[in-house]
Amino acid sequence: MKEQIIKNFKEIFGDGGEIRVFFAPGRVNLIGEHTDYNGGHVFPCALTIGTYGAVRLREDRVLRFYSGNFQENGILTGSLEDLECKGSGEWTRYVKAVIASFGEHGFITPVGFDFYCLGTIPNGSGLSSSASLEILVSKMLTVLFGFDVNMIDASIYSQYAENRYVGVNCGIMDQFAIAMGKKDSAIFLDTSDLKYEYVPVRLDGIRIVIGNTNKKRGLGDSKYNERRAECESALAQLQGICTVQALGELDESSFEAVSDAIKDPVILKRARHAVYENLRTVRAVSALNNNDIKAFGELMNQSHISLRDDYEVTGKELDTLVEAAWAQEGVLGSRMTGAGFGGCTVSLVKDECVDQFIENVGRLYKEKIGYAADFYVVDIGDGPQEL
């Protein structure tokens, strides 16, 4: 792949100079959705699909960009003097945002560069193509300019880039999972303090299957920020009667004891999801450690129901994929993954049933929705690297 990326780069930007190639993975969250900005636990893993980038430094302050996924845009030009991102619909805003964020944290990009990227993550799928690009650029800047930035800090700077410059009030999970990915392991992350552990994912005879609804959605255009605001409102109401810094600090009994403080029934449902989803995630990881894949799958199913009924972020497309998955032989669990409002599902499927699963779920989805879903049988990969 490296040779092909370099060849593509030269066709766009010409020969000459040192061309270096980097890769950052996408991610899928196995369980723990909309908990990362509520001080709860998440359980994501990096994937072997992701974003490739080739870069060549310049002697001036000019930035030139080209995406193999948006060839119709041609070469896009910018400058280190102008890293304004808001209002831009171009993918380059994520690159500019990371450069700006690094600068705010004391790591100034000294010269411009030519940058070619190619993503193997479907855009808008909910597998974090944007965070993958952000971490790719973070890794690239760190290596090229010798910045003393570890990958946890890189994930924090990348999250800040998306919050501050892109305008999406995302939590830390996507950037952290990609920056800290480890082959054949998922990351059990406590988002309240960034304590984490790698948990080996032993799925003997079971595959992870991603179902892409092909309903495009952008986080900034969705109700993602609205859900976060609703959780902040719930927390503020609870803080009127108890000392709690995040919804993730509560267990079921302590939440139910104070839930009357939340007067709006919709806000109450949002808070209930945040609390119960966090606890489901803790139990799911315990089940995996005990090699109880059946219990893990059942918790995945419960997660989807909560996201559908209490958090209301699924929608017809995701529900159709998940409900069709639940009806198939060999399925241990299935749920939406990512922000919701379109995007993807993640299912655990017995190896011998995968082909039939894809055929049946795909047919049922197309019959109900009117267009096809795509499916990916994925493996858990490592974090970002220079190739």
Residues marked active site are found at 174
Given a contact cutoff of 8 angstroms between Cβ atoms, the answer to whether 151 and 16 are in contact is no
Region of residue 117 (left: phi > 0; alpha: psi -120 to 50; beta: else)? beta
Query: What one-letter code names the amino acid at 171?
Result: G
Give kind and range of the element (H or E) at residue 52. strand 44-57
- How far is it, in rounded angstroms, from Cα 373 to Cα 387? 32
Taking the mean position of all CA atoms in its chain, how far away is CA 370? 27
Strand runs (DSSP E) across 68-155, as ranges?
76-79, 113-119
| Cβ partners under 8 Å of residue 243, min gap 6 | none
92-104 helix and 129-145 helix, angle to the nearest 10 degrees: 50
Burial grade of 374 (CB within 10 A; 0-12, 13-18, 19 or more): middle
Residue 334, phi then psi, degrees to nearest 5: -155, 140
